[in-house]
Amino acid sequence: MSLRLAVLAMLDVEPGSGYALLRRFQNSVGFFWQTTHQQLYKELHGLHAEGLVDCLEVEQDGKPDKKVYSLNAAGGAELDRLLAEAANPGKIRDPLLVKVFAGRRLPPDAVKAELLRHRALHEQTLATYRGLMQSFEMVPAERRERYFYPLQTLRLGVLYEQAWLQWCSDVLADIAKRPV
């Protein structure tokens, strides 16, 4: 149900076409709840069929026509209902940990290489989150209140990536210390 919640929340902020929503998605909620355009369109169809969103077809010149979706009263109620439901924490699900678990079977250099690669990837993601957080700081103070909660989610992203970086470094250090 989180995709539905995410879509309704996006539409609550601002109406938009599936395409536009997807791009907004990928630069915000998408960091901690991924989706594809196929799923998004399907969800929008579903929401429309249930009467939770309104749809307006807009003709454009030079660009394909689009369908602009917006939240209606029923959709707002549904959003509030979903927000009131308790959610369980998501669980860790990372292929790298499965590989490291079985690391004994691999030559140490292969493990090291993979850890270095992942550390670099996590550094990149961390930089992305930091960049986004900085861009929030440029929002004028009177409008910053609107972005209070989205900003908080980014803070988790930063802590999350830092934890992974720390771990990659720790494990690399431990491997180096091992008797050969």
Partner DNA sequence: CCGGCCATGTAACGCGTTACATGATTAG
Partner DNA sequence: CTAATCATGTAACGCGTTACATGGCCGG
Site residues (CB under 7 A) for DNA? 1-3, 17-20, 23, 34-39, 41-42, 44-45, 60, 62-67
Tokens encoding 153: 């989610």
Tokens encoding 75: 């959709």
Residue 97 binds to a second copy (criterion: CB under 8 A): yes
Q: Smallest distance from the beta carbon of 139 to DNA, in angstroms?
A: 22
Q: Which of 172, 170, 150 is nearest to 25 (CA)?
A: 150
Q: Smallest distance from the beta carbon of 114 to DNA, in angstroms?
A: 19
Instruction: CB nearer to DNA: give 66 or 112.
Output: 66
Q: Smallest distance from the beta carbon of 13 to a second copy, in angstroms?
A: 9
Helix (H, G, I), strand (E, B) or coil at 53: strand
Residue 110 binds to a second copy (criterion: CB under 8 A): yes
Helix axis angle for 148-177 and 108-137, nearest 10°, is 160
